[in-house]
Structure 1
Amino acid sequence: MKFKVDRAPLLRALSHVNGVAEKRNTIPILANVLLEHDGETLRLTATDMEIAVVEEIPSTATRAGAVTIPAAVLFEIVRKLPDGAEIEFNQESAEEPLHLRAGRYATSLNVLPVDDFPAMVAGDLPHHFTIQAGELRTLIDRTRFAMSNEETRYYLNGIYLHVVLEGKKNYLRAVATDGHRLAKVDTEAPLGVKSMPGIIVPRKTVTEVRKLLDNDGADVEVALSETRIQFRIGSILLTSKLVDGTFPEYSRVIPQNNSRILRVSKQDLAAAVGRVAAISQERSRPIKLTVTKNHLTLSAISPDQGIAQEELDENSVSYDSDDVEIGFQARYLTDITDQIDAEAEFALADSSSPTLIRDTEQPAVLYVLMPIRV
């Protein structure tokens, strides 16, 4: 095969497929990207057998063909070439290395047989819908921080997407939880989702899809079954297996009767949490919130470093209920406040019960945070 391609579109495509190629796999071919040229279009494919991503970019070829080369190596080479470079790829036969040239730079890359590159078949995907990239990005960004990393609880290692009926409206809901915090976001259900099954989109798939959502107004075409999901975003097609498990009945942990309402400036709260938590090097970094009338005191104690405390008054805080003390992991609290735009609303019960947290400007978003003993 022999073709030329501009650096910019190739680098963009490689940045998408490089994250999927499996760098630490015992199967060497999975670390490679498959380059296929039909004479007019260059197609790049990478897979780890759980996810496959395919992207097409314009390119001119004098000889069509296919080759597989290490994805990470090619990405680093192209990334370090100068802007505006035109790159020529040339392989005389399937047994020879692939030669790459750009200006005065030249290299040869070892290849693996194209026939060894695995094909990931999507199968029948009976459920289809279209969603704007901005809406899908909101569902992901507001929930993904709460996904679990524990392999033993594999059914929590992703985002649970399903349809709910509230009142007379259907909503597409995204939920994630690791057992310590929970995030739930609703968006108006697109046409076609009403009959879709509840699915768990794996953590790695969530990460790779999020990288592709650059244009808010662009449409994302989604097709799925009970075992597979496929996203088409412009010239990019990402196919993934779904988590084979049952997501827990999350509604049971969402408190319904927390009557103590604390409203606090997101900016002031986030800054105070960061300063107070800095006293402790512990991974959990516990922080105590003492809430009184229109007043919030944040404090932390470190056996090695000392004590830190900061107070927020009525300029930042609104509260008119019984005094309460409650402890949270600072990192978990920060993860949630990072998602809030202007003002956070805490619905509290007592020091040992789950706390409900909302963004006063985003009624479709809800968070639950479990307290810890401080």
Structure 2
Amino acid sequence: MLLIQADRDALLKPLTTVTGIVERRHTMPILSNVLISKQGNVLSFLATDLEIQITCEQAIEGNGPDFQFTASAKKFQDILRAIPEHATVCIESADGRLTIRSGKSRFNLQTLPAEDFPKLAIENSPRVPITLPHSLLKNLLSKVQYAMAHQDIRYYLNGLFIIVDGNNLKLVATDGHRLAFCASNLDVELDRHETILPRKTITELYKLLSDSDNPLHIEFGKNQVQFKFGSITIHSKVVDGKFPDYNRVIPTTNERIIALDRVQLTQALQRAAILSNEKFRGVRFLLSPGSLKIVCNNSEQEEAQEELEISYDYSTLDIGYNIGYLLDVLNNIDAETLLFAFGEQATTSTLVTIPDNPDFKYVVMPMRI
């Protein structure tokens, strides 16, 4: 039975939108599939890993029957990618198998019963709604997401802390070695609400958001958060845990402040990193009046040194960092100049800010080299 006859791109785009969360190998084989259903002239693609669920809808022409089936998300995506652009694709179903035809190409895929596909249970608790432009949230995420922990035993660090408070939206991420904070004003006043979203949710959301001013609708619930924009809906469970008090981590007494050109510093660090220790990725900042020396060396006694002229009138300071932590912030902030605030001791965390912008803070802990 013919289910769909449509342009290849009309199928590939929504399928690609949802397959980012699909694992190739899963303890439940059906979770490697995508649920595809049709009602009227709306085709719906749904994928889930039971923590996150993404749905994308696509309007199609024709008066074919309503249906639903599941098929391997990755295989289906690879097949459609291999078919030429703008080619017509026909999808047929018979005896629990899916046949995909285009031109003289034909593919048979196994299916699993659609009624067995587990969907995320959508909670009905009261929600805190926010509407803001795509570009606003994408910009905020770009400034903090790189600081999230990855597979940390402190599971609440493997995500992003979001605070809605009055007319403020605040985002915080930390892996215990560095912390990124950014904030923005909202057009509405809301009660305080705190949420920790999983790393995977943030990663997928960041990929799917555009730089446009199109509206993004967010609803914060007790155990779930919903994002809705265009034809895409994302439901995500929240991380059940208490995020550490980030305000205690941000230094307030670092008085040795220097202004550094972001591009110049990035290029100097990238050059020095060539000879950094591959395991520890250490870099030393040697501060002295009027000069910043950047030094990297490795276990083979090789060394790289860069020197920048700076405005610095304090005593000398020798402080070490993980060079990756510095490059992360430099590559994700678009300001021309960044302010580095150092403490008096080499054991004090360093605060990185943007001039005249109190809404961004980056804290990096020193390391022994």
Q: TM-score, normalised by structure 1?
A: 0.93
CA shift in 2, pair 1:164/1:324, >3 Å: farther
The answer (yes or no) to whether the contact 2:138–2:211 under 8 Å persists in 1 is no
Q: Which moved more, 1:279-288 or 1:363-372?
A: 279-288
Q: Corresponding residue for 2:319?
A: 326
Q: Corresponding residue for 1:186?
A: 183
Query: Once the 2 structures are TM-superposed, how far is the Cα of residue 368 of structure 1 from its aligned partner?
Result: 0.3
1:186-265 aligned at under 5 Å gives the runs 186-191=183-188, 194-265=190-261
Query: Once the 2 structures are TM-superposed, how far is the Cα of residue 61 of structure 1 from its aligned partner?
Result: 4.4
CA shift in 2, pair 1:61/1:362, >3 Å: farther
Q: Corresponding residue for 1:306?
A: 302
The amino acid of 2:368's aligned partner reads: R
Deviations 1:226-251 (A, max 9, x none): 21000001111110100011101111
Deviations 1:90-138 (A, max 9, x none): 114xx43111111221111100011110121221242111011011101
CA shift in 2, pair 1:235/1:249, >3 Å: same
Query: Once the 2 structures are TM-superposed, how far is the Cα of residue 365 of structure 1 from its aligned partner?
Result: 1.1
Q: Corresponding residue for 1:370?
A: 365
Q: Corresponding residue for 2:89?
A: 87
Query: Once the 2 structures are TM-superposed, how far is the Cα of residue 293 of structure 1 from its aligned partner?
Result: 2.2
The answer (yes or no) to whether the contact 2:286–2:294 under 8 Å persists in 1 is yes
Query: Once the 2 structures are TM-superposed, how far is the Cα of residue 361 of structure 1 from its aligned partner?
Result: 6.3
Deviations 1:1-35 (A, max 9, x none): 61122222322212111112232211000000011
Query: Once the 2 structures are TM-superposed, how far is the Cα of residue 50 of structure 1 from its aligned partner?
Result: 0.5
Q: Percent identity?
A: 34
Helix, strand or coil: the match of 1:373?
coil
Q: Which moved more, 1:302-311 or 1:363-372?
A: 302-311
- CA–CA separation in structure 2 for the residues paired with 1:40 and 1:215: 29
Q: TM-score, normalised by structure 2?
A: 0.95
Helix, strand or coil: the match of 1:290?
strand
Deviations 1:293-350 (A, max 9, x none): 231100122121511111112xxx3323332221101111111111232111101002
- CA–CA separation in structure 2 for the residues paired with 1:99 and 1:106: 7
RMSD of the alignment, in Å?
A: 1.5
The answer (yes or no) to whether the contact 1:158–1:201 under 8 Å persists in 2 is yes
The ranges of structure 1 where at least 4 consecutive aligned residues each deviate by more than 3 angstroms after the TM superposition are none
Query: Once the 2 structures are TM-superposed, how far is the Cα of residue 202 of structure 1 from its aligned partner?
Result: 0.6
The answer (yes or no) to whether the contact 2:54–2:233 under 8 Å persists in 1 is yes
- CA–CA separation in structure 1 for the residues paired with 2:63 and 2:82: 23
The answer (yes or no) to whether the contact 1:260–1:322 under 8 Å persists in 2 is no
Deviations 1:182-214 (A, max 9, x none): 00000112426x225200011000011112112
Helix, strand or coil: the match of 2:20?
coil
Query: Once the 2 structures are TM-superposed, how far is the Cα of residue 276 of structure 1 from its aligned partner?
Result: 1.1
- CA–CA separation in structure 1 for the residues paired with 2:134 and 2:173: 19
- CA–CA separation in structure 2 for the residues paired with 1:320 and 1:163: 40
Q: Which moved more, 1:53-62 or 1:72-81?
A: 53-62
- CA–CA separation in structure 2 for the residues paired with 1:262 and 1:163: 32
Q: Corresponding residue for 2:102?
A: 102
The amino acid of 1:321's aligned partner reads: Y
- CA–CA separation in structure 1 for the residues paired with 2:301 and 2:42: 60
Helix, strand or coil: the match of 2:191?
coil
> Could you tell me which of 63, 66, 90 is aligned with 2:65?
63
Is residue 2:322 matched to residue 1:343?
no
Q: Corresponding residue for 1:176?
A: 173
Note the residue ranges of structure 2 that are not aligned, 5 or more in a row.
none
